[in-house]
Structure formats: structure tokens, C-alpha cells
Amino acid sequence: MTRELVASSLGVLVAVLLGTSAVCSPAAASAGDFFDAERFRLVRDGDAYRLRSADGIDAPIPLAWLEPPEVVAEDEESYVGSLDWEEAVTAFPIGGGRIGLHLSSYTIADGGSAQAASGRDLLLILDPTTGQLWRGLDLGSSKSRVRLGGCWAARFDRIAVGDVDCDRRLDLSVVEERLTCEEVDVRVIGTEEEEWVRSDRQHHRIGPRRWHLGTGESWQHDDRFDDRLPCTGLAELPLIGLVKGPVEFVLESYADRAPLFDETGAPASWP
């Protein structure tokens, strides 16, 4: 889907979520207008977290949502932690007067040959009239990179919003992008006898698009809609605290080296 089509279809998406029949112009329905990165902030309050807004919302967030005990324990054994949550929060309307909230964490290790980094994505739902929060969708470890023995492993979950089941509630799509390091047999050139050796080779895989349908209190995966385009609009959530995702970082940093390949043997690229 082209950027122009995404921009124009956002107008329909905004109109549907607001309960109107008018279609906004592409300029009025840009991603910058649809997503609000200024209204809300994630605040650390001692051993707790709170969601605060300039218009008076002050809602507590359960600590276990942002710092699950099992993840805290895992991070202690990892190259780098994953629970350094950004203060910035991206808000967007999901229909029925409720608001979706995107929270993101990302930590880059200080030094080390592994050049490790790790982060998480959490989507909440807010009723702004009561201040009630729901844990909408926890993607867990959704972005990471680590270099082992000269070969990279990296992951980045691209999150987008749209209405895929045409029920006037906003749904979420997640496309997983991965770099993996796999052993392959490589023929040695220049030897008199046929000789093969095991060698590491990078693979770049993208997709499929997995849809999580909105219920008003959560987003639930429904594989019947996977890889479909939405009825009204598709917009990718902007990055929080990052200029580029970890997969893009690796691809750009090593663009002058041997190309990365997908599972078909062809050079991989984002569609």
C-alpha cells in the first residue's frame, strides 16, 4: 500500500471513528493529525507508574503491566534489559469515545561486542471520562538486536491501526520483521576437489500481517483476518524514542557488506 493511499484512506478512518459520514481530505487526515504524542505522559511515581495528561487525567498503571516479575528476572540474565519505558505516549481514537495508548521501551547496552538492544511495546485502552485503563495488547519483547560471532539476530514488530472487520472499532495489525543467522553449506572455490564448509548466512524475513481485533477493552488476534487490508484506513504507529528500528539499523549499518537474503534466496526488501 502506497503512502498516498494510506494518507487518503486515513480520512475515511477518522470519519468512521468519529461517527460521521463525511470523508476528511488527505491533508486533514494525515498521520500527524491522527496520532497525538503531546497529550499524555508516562510518569514514574516511586515504585509505581501513572498516566497523566495536561487536561487532568491521572490514572495509576499496575506495576505488573510494565514490569512483569518474570521479565525482570529474565532481564537480569540478558545482555541488556528491556524495561526502560519512554515517558512519551502516543494516543489515538479507537471508537466509542475511548482512546488507544502506545507505550514503548528500548534499552541499548553500554559497549560490548554484542551491540545488544532490547525493548517492548504495550497498548492500553483508556476511557477518558472515568480514567479507567485496560491492558489492550502486550506484545512483549517486540524489538531487539544482538551480534553473536559476527552474525546478527534482530527483530522489529511494526504496529499499524485500521478497521479490518468494518465494525467501527479500531483494530491493530502487527508485522514481524526478523534478521536471523542460519548455517548453510557453502562450496569452497579454488580447490581441486569438491569441498563444502558450514558458514553463517543472514536471512531477512517479513510478515505475515497479524490482525488483533478491537473489543473496546482489548485487542484479540483473529487469524481469519491475517494479511487482509482494512476496510477504512491503515496507518503505522510512529516510533517512540527511536529514529529507526533495530532491523533497519543493522541493514543500514552493514549495507556495504554482502546482501541479506530471504528464505527464497532472493535479496529481501520491505514491500
Q: Of the candidates 146, 109, 110, 140, which has an alpha carbon nearest to the alpha carbon of residue 123?
A: 140
Which residues, other chains included, contact 56 with Cβ-Cβ below 8 Å and sequence gap of 6+?
Answer: none
pLDDT in tens, 109-145: 988 888 899 999 999 999 999 999 999 999 999 999 9
Choice among 6-20, 147-161, 187-201, 241-255 with the minimum mean pLDDT: 6-20
Banded pLDDT at 1 (limits 50, 70, 90): very low
Q: What is the pLDDT of residue 114?
A: 86
* Gap between the Cα atoms of 184 and 186, Å rounded: 6
- 161 exposed, middle or buried (CB, 10 Å; 0-12, 13-18, 19+)? buried
The pLDDT of residue 21 is 33
Mean per-residue pLDDT for 100-114?
Answer: 92
- Confidence tier at 103 by pLDDT (50, 70, 90): very high
pLDDT at 241 over 90: yes
CB 231 within 8 A of CB 163: yes
Taking a C-beta distance cutoff of 8 angstroms, is the pair 65, 83 a contact? no
The predicted pLDDT at position 200 comes to 66
Domain ranges of the chain: 3-253
Per-residue pLDDT tens digits for 208-239: 999 999 999 999 999 999 999 999 789 999 99
Q: How many residues does the chain have?
A: 271
pLDDT of 266 > 60? The answer is: no
47-94 confidence digits (pLDDT tens): 899 999 989 999 999 999 999 999 999 988 888 899 999 999 999 999
Report whether pLDDT(42) > 50. yes
At 123, is the secondary structure helix, strand, or coil?
Answer: strand
Confidence of residue 7 (pLDDT cuts 50, 70, 90): very low
Point out which residues pair with 59 in neighbouring strands: 51
- What mean pLDDT do residues 39-44 have? 97
- The CA dihedral of 41, 65, 156, 202, to the nearest 10 degrees, is 140
Q: Is the pLDDT of residue 270 over 50?
A: no
Calpha distance 217→136 (Å, rounded)? 6
pLDDT of residue 183: 66
Does the pLDDT of residue 259 top 60, yes or no? no
pLDDT tens-place string over residues 164-204: 999 999 999 999 999 988 765 555 565 556 665 555 677 88
